Amino acid sequence: MNQTVRNARSADSENSLPLSALDLVDHGRGVFALDAGYVRPRMAAIHLIVDNGRVAVVDTGVNDSVPRVEAALAALGLQATSVDYVVLTHIHLDHAGGAGRLMQLFPQAKLVVHPRGARHMADPSKLIAGAAAVYGAAQVHALYGDVVPVDALRIIEATHDLRLPLGGRELVCLDAPGHAKHHLCLFDPYAGAAFTGDAFGLSYRELDVDGRQFLFPTTTPVQFDPDSMQATIDMIAALPLTAAYLTHYSRVHDVPAQAEALHRRVQGHLAVARREHAHEKRLQEGGESPAAAERARGSLVTRIREGLSTLLVDEAAAFGCPLPAADVLALYATDLELNAQGLAVWLETAE
């Protein structure tokens, strides 16, 4: 149907969030996209797969997203007991921060997570500490609140090719490293859909042009692996898909062509990082005092971010995006910083 579902029930239902505040989109074949309400509109999507009254929730947003999920279920005429699975593509907190609280609300659900991430959902203390090291403790608490642990007995460790029955269909878990070692994709053969988390890049709807979507890679500050990322992109592109569903933000079409563009932009990221790394080495070998060299080069992360900013603006313009460069950079500001950090860490490990 591909239409926005609004006000399917009255706002005086059991849910505290008025349905008029939802952005819930029906993409057909039981696939729905819900705005997580994270940071800004259409920054992060939560996807629901519905079949014969049974539900899988893919990624959870943050604690503040929980009322939205409750309201979406009510809008679709479903109950908390309808949810069989909460599937995490990976455990970064914008994808998994609300998982513990949702699991408290869904008594029959199992949490499906990559084996490398399972222990961190049962005890999220290291996960929170890692996020605090990147963003700062105050910012982490402001964004994510108190991250609730999940009972280990309710966690399914999703090994590659694990099958999950849902109503009359079967969902397939696929190991998908590159953005993070603990990343999986969820493939739904019936819908021709892959739920890719961050493994297939970012695609913000503001950059759409004539029904086409613009994709840009997303690294991570500690686990970016470009070879694995490109292998994962190829794996996704080889699936029989009508669309890929990204957490940031939802549906993209023409997956093989998107994969080609994404490969090129990953290579662009690597070229920027290598160029700035080589520049830094030349400065270090040039005989200047350490202080003078530091002043001359600035932070490596800053320099990589500047290079990525140029790459982003050039790629968006070549794609035909009508937004001014300043608006494009504003939309991707956090992503550019994280990508630069991820590339700087990768340079250290790749030496």
Please report the pLDDT score of residue 224 as a whole number: 95
The pLDDT of 227-255, averaged and rounded, is 98
What's the average model confidence in pLDDT over 273-296?
72
Q: What is the pLDDT of residues 212-224, one digit of tens each?
A: 999 999 998 889 9
Which residue's entry shows tokens 């280990």? 152
- pLDDT more than 70, % of the chain: 90
- pLDDT score for 282: 80
pLDDT value, residue 302: 94
pLDDT digits (tens, 9 = 90+) for 113-163: 999 999 999 999 988 888 888 778 888 888 888 899 999 999 999 999 999
CA angle 182, 48, 20 (to 5 degrees): 125
Give Rg (Cα) of the chain.
20
Q: How far apart are CA 129 and CA 263, in angstroms?
A: 32
Residues 6+ apart with CB under 8 A from 238: none
Give the pair of three-digit tokens for residue 133: 């090291």
Q: What is the pLDDT of residue 20?
A: 56
pLDDT at 179 exceeding the cut of 90: yes
Q: Which of 27-31, 88-92, 257-261, 292-296 has the lowest mean pLDDT?
A: 292-296
Distance linking the first and last C-alpha atoms of the chain: 51
What Å distances lie between residue 73 and 64, 292, 314, CA to CA?
16, 59, 41
* Whole-number pLDDT of residue 284: 73
Whole-number pLDDT of residue 277: 92
3-state SS of 45-104? EEEEEEECCEEEEECCCCHHHHHHHHHHHHHCCCCHHHEEEEECCCCCHHHHCCHHHHHH
Give the model's pLDDT for residue 6.
31
**Residue whose pair of structure tokens reads 């530091």 in the numeric block:** 294
303: pLDDT strictly greater than 60: yes
pLDDT value of position 22: 77
Read off the pLDDT of residues 233-246 as tens digits, 9 standing for 90 and up. 999 999 999 999 99
Enumerate the H helices of the chain as residue ranges: 66-75, 93-96, 99-105, 115-122, 125-135, 137-144, 226-238, 255-284, 290-297, 300-319, 325-331, 333-350
Under 8 Å between Cβ of 81 and 25: no
Instruction: Supply 205's token pair.
Output: 């709807």
Helix (H) or strand (E) holding 37: none
